[in-house]
Copies of this chain bind each other. A is one copy, B any other.
Amino acid sequence: MARKSASGRIGIADVAVKAGVSHATVSRVMNGNFTVDPDIAARVRAAAAELKYQPNPVGRSLALGKTDTIGIVVPDLANPTFQAILRGLSRAAAQDGYRVLIADSFEVSSEESILAAEARRRCDGLVLCAPRMTDAELEEIVPSLHPLVLINRTTAAPGVPSLVVDYGQGVQDIAGHLVDLGHTRLAFLAGPPHSASNDMRLKGLEAFKAAHPDVDVTMLEGGSDFDTGHEAVDAVLASGATGILAFNDLVAMGLMSGLHERGLDVPGDISVTGFDDIPFARYTTPALTTGAVPITELGEQAWHQLRALIRKEENDAPGSRYQPRLEVRASTGPAKAPRSTVHG
Contacts and interface: CB of A to CB of B under 8 A. Distances in A.
Contacts of A117: 54
Contact of A103 (B7, B58, B99): B99
Interface in A191-236: 226
Interface string A140-179: 0000100000000000000000000000000000000000
A83 B99 CA distance: 17
A69 interface: yes
Contact of A77 (B7, B65, B87, B285): B87
A interface secondary structure, majority: helix
Nearest to A74: B90
Contact of A104 (B67, B78, B90): B90
Given A77-B83, A121-B54, A121-B57, A101 B99 contact: yes
Given A62-B62, A69-B101, A284-B284, 18 more contacts: A52-B144, A54-B121, A57-B121, A58-B58, A59-B62, A77-B86, A77-B91, A87-B104, A90-B104, A91-B106, A94-B104, A99-B102, A99-B103, A101-B101, A102-B102, A226-B279, A253-B280, A280-B280
Interface of A: 7, 52, 54, 56-59, 61-62, 65, 67, 69, 77-78, 83, 86-87, 90-91, 94, 99-104, 106, 117, 119, 121-122, 144, 226, 253-254, 257, 260, 279-280, 283-285
